[in-house]
Structure 1
Amino acid sequence: MNARWLVLACLPGLAQAQGFAGLAGEAGEFALPERGVPPVFPEDHGPHPEFRIEWWYVTANLTGPDGTPYGLQWTLFRSALAPREAPGFDSPQIWLGHAAVTGPDTHLFTQRLARGGIGQAGVTAAPFEAFIDDWRMAGPGFDALALSASGPDFAYDVTLDAQGPLVLHGEDGFSVKSAEGQASYYYSQPFFAVEGVLSLPGGEVPVTGSAWFDHEWSSQPLSERQTGWDWFSLSFDGGEKLMGFQLREGDAGGYTYASWIEPDGALTPYVGAFEAEPLDRADLGGISVPVRWRVRLPQEGVDAEIAALNPASWNALSPPYWEGPVTVSGSHEGRGYLEMTGYE
């Protein structure tokens, strides 16, 4: 049994859980986030092996020379079997990478599997580097990063340059996810400017645009009743940004939260005020997924329609989920990204 099969065998809570439902498991000996203990940088750009699950996430809205819109995703997941780190094959840390490129008529995606302790994947805080095999997000500081990934039919190599500050969601990074109080540590860098090249089946495409980085870690971020989430990161033409999510309970919307982010990075949190209503769905291989939404945040005058650039942006990976670029129209204009898990 080689290392990659060991990864598959050791991912009961991640790779085998439809829609991330395994995130409701008991924390056990793993650490839990503490209210009033905000992240510290640059240390908290790095990994937190005492927590059960963690991810570093980039989504980007891009434009080619002819005006064609594209989306890019780069994700590194860490899942721990025990709350510690160790060298070599004694490491209980498991790593999973996802990458995708989306256009109006195409959605290309791939994944990498690895284990910790043997140099195949990992994250260091300063200088920052997150990698799995030859995929990398790295730079001398967190404000200027190079990002690359490749798959059987695509690749990308872009730079990320921060044009604004980090933002801490919830209460100084303590992000509540349920009425019962499950929570994660969660911060973003939503102000990255992007420049680089996509390598697609039709050739290389120079692109420019903007990117949104998320880093989140916890040990039990969902309650037992929650079955999945709908997560929106929206950048408006006026410079404001909105991160909003709803954690579904069955067919109901469940727990909702939104961060309203001003152009200077000032953040206003809203618990229970964010509304997301599906308007249209797509049948993706027998799975019905909402691909057009009405999103409202009345306190900030937001009443907008969110539409998928490519409704077929289904990542048939481990685990499977929908992730793709969206357009924004209505009270606000702009674009962003949408992630949906737990649809069957």
Structure 2
Amino acid sequence: MRRRRMLQLLGAAGCLPLASLLPSRAALAAAPSFPPVRPRALAFPRDHGAHPDYRTEWWYATGWLETAEGPAGFQVTFFRSRTAHDPANPSRFAPHQLLFAHAALAWPGHGRLRHAQRAARVGDGDESTRFALEDTAVAVQGWSFSRDAATGRYAATVADQALALRLGLAPTQPLLLQGDRGFSRKGPRPEQASHYYSQPQLAVSGTVGFEGKSLPVRGRAWLDHEWSTAVLDEESVGWDWIGINLDDGGALMAFRIRGRDGAAVRWASARLRERDGRELSYGPDAVRFETLGTWRSPRTGTSYPVRSRLTLGQGTAALRFDIEPLIEDQELDARLSTGAVYWEGAVSLRHDGRTVGRGYLELVGYHRPMKL
């Protein structure tokens, strides 16, 4: 029912004919197999590009911006999803690959999140919806996110009635490979894994627009690129994740996968790059999120732990950070694209009472269990 409801919403949005999305029994019998994620050395620039054999993939840029009207948070995310349709079906309406895009702007003076979304299928002759294999270059109905091979600089372009973003994101540090050299475990079973790397401390410049005005901005961003086939098992409902650019030049990523009873943690991991470049990894027993405060959505009734304490390590050597939202209302309703409702917003990281970093927090599976 959940999958059918998502397909109905996509059809209602005019991006996918509903009949073409519902495969026949014969098509289901010929459904493709999705390769598992196995440990391997990532190779660049090829692994900056798309991996269409895998079920799910995203390029996820988030950050803090400084403007003449104060700080703001932004996110631009492009998703690729390979469907279970028969790959031999030659119909231009057969949605073998779907692309989705989200963009958001969190501005304290405006109270809540501004959000826009896109959804389309690949391969029906529309050149405005595409992805590339050799490097990052993905586009959905005119929105785009790409990487310049010569400079490593990313360019994000979003144009919508709700908001407009035109940003350049320039690398200042090496890539941060998550997990074991880019092989990131997500659960107790070996197949629950992704290939995952981050690009922290990106220098941002460009413009943001809304309500008929355009403002120049500068700031810092974080990019995640991740692809997988099986991340959540039947006992998992979602995750909490942070990506933080530390003020001293370091970087911190941490996540936990939550179980169905709401308290059990199925898996957890963190990676810390210190200011001198040294990297530390934390396994499932050394990562703990503790709720300090919740916010309840007036639209969906969902409660999210928007304030929390992150503990890395154990005993007297443990590191403790408090996570504080830029604004509380950063709920993202993506039921017209990916089908999910979740909280995804700008946060600051505090240690011993002072702010030590800024980045993004993602809270998934609190509204409904997430299905990937």
TM-score by length of 1: 0.88
Question: Quick one: which amino acid aligns to residue 80 of structure 2?
Answer: R
Kindly indicate whether residue 77 of structure 2 is the aligned counterpart of residue 75 of structure 1: yes
Residue equivalent to 2:251: 241
Q: What CA deviation, in whole Å up to 9, does each residue of 1:154-199 have, x standing for no partner?
A: 1111111100111110011110001223111111111210011110
CA 1:244–1:86 in 2, change beyond 3 Å: closer, same or farther?
Answer: farther
Kindly state the Cα deviation for residue 125 of structure 1 after the two structures are TM-superposed: 4.4
CA 1:139–1:49 in 2, change beyond 3 Å: closer, same or farther?
Answer: closer
- Any conservation in 1 of the 2:222–2:245 contact (CA below 8 Å)? no
Residue equivalent to 1:60: 63
Kindly state the Cα deviation for residue 122 of structure 1 after the two structures are TM-superposed: 2.4
- 1:185 equivalent among 189, 192, 195: 195
Q: Where do 1:135-174 residues align within 5 Å?
A: 135-141=143-149, 143-174=152-183
Q: What CA deviation, in whole Å up to 9, does each residue of 1:292-312 have, x standing for no partner?
A: 111111377531211111111
Kindly state the Cα deviation for residue 63 of structure 1 after the two structures are TM-superposed: 1.1
Q: Which structure 2 residue ranges, 5 or more long, are not aligned? A: 1-10, 24-30, 368-372
CA 1:184–1:241 in 2, change beyond 3 Å: closer, same or farther?
Answer: same
Q: Per the alignment, in what secondary structure is the counterpart of residue 311 of structure 1?
A: coil
Residue equivalent to 2:348: 327
Q: Where do 1:91-130 residues align within 5 Å?
A: 92-104=96-108, 105-118=111-124, 119-126=127-134, 128-130=136-138
- 2:313 equivalent among 294, 298, 315: 298
Kindly state the Cα deviation for residue 3 of structure 1 after the two structures are TM-superposed: 6.3
Q: What CA deviation, in whole Å up to 9, does each residue of 1:194-249 have, x standing for no partner?
A: 01111022622221111111111111111211101000111221222110001111
- Any conservation in 2 of the 1:97–1:112 contact (CA below 8 Å)? yes
Residue equivalent to 1:214: 224
Q: What CA deviation, in whole Å up to 9, does each residue of 1:16-51 have, x standing for no partner?
A: xxxxxxxxxxx971001112x122111111111111
Higher normalized strand content (fraction of residues): 1
> In structure 2, how many angstroms separate the alpha carbons of the residues matched to 1:86 and 1:238?
53
Kindly indicate whether residue 209 of structure 2 is the aligned counterpart of residue 199 of structure 1: yes
Residue equivalent to 1:31: 35
Residue equivalent to 2:271: 259
Q: Per the alignment, in what secondary structure is the counterpart of residue 16 of structure 2?
A: helix
TM-score by length of 2: 0.81
Tell me which moved more, 82-91 or 107-116: 82-91
Kindly indicate whether residue 304 of structure 2 is the aligned counterpart of residue 289 of structure 1: yes
> In structure 2, how many angstroms separate the alpha carbons of the residues matched to 1:114 and 1:98?
12
- Any conservation in 2 of the 1:60–1:71 contact (CA below 8 Å)? yes
Question: Quick one: which amino acid aligns to residue 5 of structure 1?
Answer: L
> In structure 2, how many angstroms separate the alpha carbons of the residues matched to 1:28 and 1:183?
19
> In structure 2, how many angstroms separate the alpha carbons of the residues matched to 1:341 and 1:204?
31
CA 1:244–1:40 in 2, change beyond 3 Å: closer, same or farther?
Answer: same
- Any conservation in 2 of the 1:246–1:253 contact (CA below 8 Å)? no
- Any conservation in 1 of the 2:244–2:252 contact (CA below 8 Å)? yes
Identity %: 35
Kindly state the Cα deviation for residue 120 of structure 1 after the two structures are TM-superposed: 3.8
Q: Which structure 1 residue ranges, 5 or more long, are not aligned? A: 13-26
* Structure ID, larger Rg: 2
Kindly state the Cα deviation for residue 90 of structure 1 after the two structures are TM-superposed: 4.7
Q: Per the alignment, in what secondary structure is the counterpart of residue 208 of structure 1?
A: strand
Residue equivalent to 2:287: 274
> In structure 1, how many angstroms separate the alpha carbons of the residues matched to 2:195 and 2:20?
28
